[in-house]
Amino acid sequence: MTAAELFGGGIAVITGAGAGIGAGLARQASRLGMTVVLVDIDAGAVAALRDELRAAGGTAIDKVCDVRDAEAVQALAAAVHDDLGPVRLLVNNAGVEQFGYLWDTPVDNWRRVVDVNINGVYHGIRAFLPHMLASDTPAWVWNLSSIGGVAVVPLQAPYIMSKHAVLALTECLHLEVQAAGHADHVHVQAVLPGAVVSNIFESAGGVDGGDTDAAESQRAAMLDIKAAAMDPLAAAKVVFDQAAEGRFYLLTQPDYVSSAMIERARVLTSQEAPRLRTERRFDPSRS
Ligand SMILES: NC(=O)c1ccc[n+]([C@@H]2O[C@H](COP(=O)([O-])OP(=O)(O)OC[C@H]3O[C@@H](n4cnc5c(N)ncnc54)[C@H](O)[C@@H]3O)[C@@H](O)[C@H]2O)c1
């Protein structure tokens, strides 16, 4: 089946929909004929996107919700379920970056990454999955990991750790849905973007003391990668199409992301210690 056949007419809830990948997924969901619930802490961003999607003939609702707040996400799920009906697609997308040596990282910045990137995904699952499992209508859950979920990168340890965590959590969830006997209608998939144009590096945390230059050089290096990054709407189309094919790992740039998967598998099977490299290991301009 095509993405339009599978998803068209359903309800999509997308966290972090105010910018970047989330906004791209929301635009594509709307083009496929989904009712889109745009969730973000940035009220202005989701209101503007709601107006844009409605002006294009879509059905969109904006909700301000902080994914760090378990009860707020629970209330969101109940409201969507009661007011709109069963959710066909939940995208746990909201995420934040962090640059700097781990030992320089302020406690609040560490907690921000864990709270948004890991706890936020868990809150989404805890709030929405029970409704999906209880219904016999088809439903999809996408969690945003990253190429960073299969790579190790110095000066981004909290972020990289969080994306490994989301990937493992998603793989476990996929098995749990099977073990509990719901795999006939609930589909869990992991999204691993490569490099997609967004605000994530600008809004990333840094360090207040210690080696601030090292933290900011890492931010600058990542901003350089943006020059070769993919358009979020194009990335969203790829993700929807791969999801419709029934793939588990949804890769915005299959060659680029799978080169990191292959390297990770090679390091683990050879049991080598991670090696510091100065050259860029993966080329984001590869599709
Ligand atoms: N852009 C990339 O190249 C890339 C690569 C790999 C993975 N990812 C992942 O994709 C996801 C989206 O990232 P992006 O690059 O589009 O970032 P972005 O910064 O452009 O957008 C993130 C959105 O999340 C929102 N947000 C932040 N904290 C929130 C919270 N507590 N509650 C609700 N919303 C919140 C922000 O307001 C923003 O609108 C992240 O999980 C990120 O790790 C991105």
Instruction: Label residue 277 by pLDDT band (50, 70, 90).
Output: confident
Asked whether 53 lines ligand 1 (CB < 6 A), one says: no
The per-residue pLDDT for range 38-59, each reduced to its tens digit, is 999 999 999 999 999 999 999 9
Evaluate if residue 278 carries a pLDDT over 90. Answer: no
Nearest of 117, 71, 70, 94 to residue 13 by alpha carbon: 94
Please state, in angstroms and rounded to a whole number, the distance separating the CA atoms of residues 36 and 61.
6
Interval between CA 181 and ligand 1 midpoint (Å)? 32
Residues 6+ apart with CB under 8 A from 87: 10, 11, 12, 13, 77, 80, 81, 128, 131, 132, 139
Query: What's the mean pLDDT in 263-281?
Result: 88
CATH class in words for 3-270: alpha beta
Evaluate if residue 284 carries a pLDDT over 90. Answer: no
| Residue ranges covered by each domain of the chain | 3-270
Mutation to probe ligand 1, out of 14, 39, 96 (largest number of atoms < 8 A from CB): 96
The per-residue pLDDT for range 123-154, each reduced to its tens digit, is 999 999 999 999 989 999 999 999 999 999 99
| Closest residue CA from atom 21 of ligand 1 | 19
The per-residue pLDDT for range 219-243, each reduced to its tens digit, is 999 999 988 999 999 999 999 999 9
Which sequence positions are flagged as catalytic? 159
Asked whether 123 lines ligand 1 (CB < 6 A), one says: no
Output the average pLDDT for the chain.
96
Instruction: Label residue 286 by pLDDT band (50, 70, 90).
Output: low
